[in-house]
Structure 1
Amino acid sequence: MASSKTKLRLFVDTKVGKVPCAEADKNFIDFLIYLLSLPIATAVRILKEKNMHLAGVGSLGHLYESLEKLPDSFLQLNQDKSSLLNPRAPVYATGIPLTLSDYDFKARKSYKCSGCYDYVAEVPYLTCSKCKGKVNIAMSYVPPSPANFPVAVEGGFLKGLATYIVMDNLEFMPMSTTMFVSLLKKSGVKDLDALDEIEVDLGVEEGLKLLKLSLESKTILTSFYFGDRNGHGFLDVKSMDSYLGPGLTN
């Protein structure tokens, strides 16, 4: 992980209590892509382990807990409950701030056929579909990290040169002045002077809250800044007249 924190510049419409968009660099967008790559079960497990109130993610929390409580005797012999509850993320990159998963990709194993060597599986001792031999030769996983790439690359998913605009629903695109003004108008912002610019420092705790909101809301930045439907703020904002709270800087 390159950093345990990243920054996000929020554009806050103080008249209507809304965050129509934000300005972000590569680090924050890398984190959003990382969230997108997480298996659903992994996302739910992370929130469960951090006591993030699974009821807030709709039926997914109940679905996860039902499988968790289900006796192993109900599963097919070739199925493993732990693998279903803790699936492997299909995408890997180093240097992503706010990483939430503690999965060790270096320990990831695959198995190849001991007969023809043509087939690979993630579960050992399966029968090869070609030669009928056993798929039982362990192979270590080589992550596509910068250290393993033949030319110099940065960590994360995106190049570090661009600045991005992120909408309230987490839609993002490269920043341009024309696009910025157009999107603000589309979001219903009538007075650009009414927008306050608030720079937020995001740590792992804020990353967890963004993950939770991404599963339950379409106005994520607004809910993140002003609070949920019950008025519970995620950034310790004390009142509508006081926008600077713990973790916020002008």
Structure 2
Amino acid sequence: MASSSSKLTLKLLIDSKREKVLFAKASKAIVDFFFNLLCLPIGTVIRILNKNQMVGSLANLYESVENLDETYMQPDQNKDLLLKPSASMSSKISGLLPSVNDSSSNNFVNVFYRCQSHYSRVTCDNNTRCPDCNRPMNSQMIFIGEKVANEISAEKNGFVKGVVTYMVMDDLAIQPMSSISSITLLNKFNVKEVGTLQETVVELDMNQGVNLLKASLESKTVLTNVFLNNHMHCSRAI
């Protein structure tokens, strides 16, 4: 996770003539952030972005669960499993997304109960009765999954290795960077005038993290959409 003293940055290569980000040079921390988007439950994404900002129909599904009376839910189920799912521990890697977990949903997810006679039956609700013997399933179990996830996250320190710089395309395709790949891309984009290229460094904050998440669900030109209309911290022509 990035500390407050070490801000995350992206170095954008921009075609100023076409007003388009060709690609960005990114560190391991940035790539970890992008890869971590794949770990976020849909319910968490909706809470981060707010229902009003969601495209498509997922927000309607979310609101349907919100409005559904608890009497229609199975007795061993809780709406918070859908509305407030527990995000992967890796969601805390970069600090570029707000935390949407709360204590009530965490307690619900992390506490399990079993039948005293049939150990293979597990529930989240201690009022549930065992389908085998009809006895209350109220014997609490110790859940260690979150601790294990913390240890794994600390050991691996994200998803990718930090020995190289990575190339992030405008559509978020990512690969290790090399001089050959850069030249190949310039040819692919049919760049004829090197003078039209501009290299710009942008600092990332939580607002931009949320904007990147939102744009990744809506667009094939994520970097262009998020950064080209924003204030650039420093820039220089190549």
Q: Structure 1-normalised TM-score? A: 0.75
CA contact 2:76–2:128 (8 Å) conserved in 1: no
Question: Counterpart in 1 of 2:75?
Answer: 77
Question: Counterpart in 2 of 1:240?
Answer: none
Equivalent-residue separation in structure 1 for 2:32 and 2:9 (angstroms): 12
Q: Which of 84, 102, 113 is the matching residue for 1:86? A: 84
Work out the number of aligned pairs and report it.
Answer: 225
Q: Which of 47, 51, 68 is the matching residue for 2:49? A: 47
Q: Which of 189, 214, 217 is the matching residue for 1:215? A: 217
Equivalent-residue separation in structure 2 for 1:126 and 1:161 (angstroms): 51
Provide structure 2 residue ranges, at least 5 long, that are not aligned to the other structure.
none
Question: Counterpart in 2 of 1:249?
Answer: 234
CA contact 2:13–2:24 (8 Å) conserved in 1: yes
The C-alpha deviation readout for 1:168-219, integer Å capped at 9, x for no partner, is: 1111011111112223333443434422111010011110111111111111
Equivalent-residue separation in structure 1 for 2:111 and 2:25 (angstroms): 40
Matched AA of 1:109: N
Pairwise mapping of residues 64-213 of structure 1 onto structure 2 (< 5 A)? Answer: 64-90=62-88, 92=90, 95-103=93-101, 109-111=110-112, 113=114, 114-115=116-117, 117=119, 124=126, 134=137, 136-141=139-144, 142-145=147-150, 148=151, 153=155, 155-213=157-215
CA contact 1:162–1:174 (8 Å) conserved in 2: yes
Q: Which moved more, 1:71-80 or 1:171-180?
A: 71-80
Equivalent-residue separation in structure 1 for 2:111 and 2:96 (angstroms): 28
The structure with more helix, counted as a fraction of residues: 2
Structure 1 residues 132, 225: closer, same or farther in 2, change over 3 A?
Answer: same
Please state whether the residue corresponding to 1:9 is helix, strand or coil: strand
Q: Percent identity?
A: 37
What do you get for the CA RMSD once the two structures are aligned?
3.1
Deviation, structure 1 residue 43: 0.4
Equivalent-residue separation in structure 1 for 2:71 and 2:177 (angstroms): 54
Equivalent-residue separation in structure 1 for 2:159 and 2:123 (angstroms): 26
CA contact 2:84–2:101 (8 Å) conserved in 1: no
Structure 1 residues 121, 167: closer, same or farther in 2, change over 3 A?
Answer: farther
Matched AA of 2:174: F
Equivalent-residue separation in structure 1 for 2:224 and 2:210 (angstroms): 16
Please state whether the residue corresponding to 2:82 is helix, strand or coil: helix
Deviation, structure 1 residue 61: 2.3
CA contact 2:212–2:226 (8 Å) conserved in 1: yes
Question: Counterpart in 2 of 1:12?
Answer: 14
CA contact 2:25–2:165 (8 Å) conserved in 1: yes
Q: Structure 2-normalised TM-score? A: 0.78
Structure 1 residues 192, 65: closer, same or farther in 2, change over 3 A?
Answer: farther
